[in-house]
Structure 1
Amino acid sequence: MSPAPRSPMLLAGLLAGAGVLHFAVPKAFDATVPRVLPGSPRTWTYASAVVEFGLAAGVALPRTRRPAALATAAFFVGVFPANVQMAVDWRRRSAPLRAAAIGRLPLQVPLVLWARNVAGASRRVGGES
């Protein structure tokens, strides 16, 4: 089953929206940066936003869609430790916040699969999905 024709554009929109949020409310994202990473959490927050914008542009363009979608899948795997960090840090917060932090963890799986689907559909139709 192939993704809907707008699926790549929705994925690009999700990535771009996340990039905007990283710049608009960086403090919320700074807190999720794993402490084992060197340097300032803000640097990682902004770098993540730049990567998300680049991936969004790549997924939006049929010519670069396949490699960008594969890179997006890898990116979603790569940011999983930030979600784990958030779940660990929020374990003493209110029940709704704890639930949100824990609920984010399994959401990475459909995001990875979505990006892989977009890449696969792009290959099947010559990049014009």
Structure 2
Amino acid sequence: MIAGMIQSAENQKLQGGQFDHADRLFNSVRDTWLSAAGKGNTSDVKELIPEFFYMPEFLENQFNLDLGEKQSGEKVWDVILPPWAKGSCREFISKHREALESDFVSENLHHWIDLIFGYKQRGK
């Protein structure tokens, strides 16, 4: 938990003592997915960090940090999870780990390796 506080303090330093604009913070799995997977939007590139597979705490604002409000007036707090997570960060992480360890991922991992490190790096 201390590491989370240190990281938060460092993030604030990068933004002149504030957190980044609330509309740019990661606070919704759905919205982030739609932005990154949008057709023709090649500028929003994202990868799942390791925390998506083992650390449910990173999805919660455990330190009650003031992360601001979006332009819509919505206050940024915990990350908004997809319905299948049933409001549980632990369920969300468990399902991600289950998917990562699935036969489908094992059988197709070489495609990701080619995309990240190999001949498909240019999106072709």
TM-score w.r.t. the length of structure 2 is 0.32
Provide the TM-score with structure 1 as the length reference. Answer: 0.31
Higher RCO (C-alpha under 8 Å, 6+ residues apart): 1
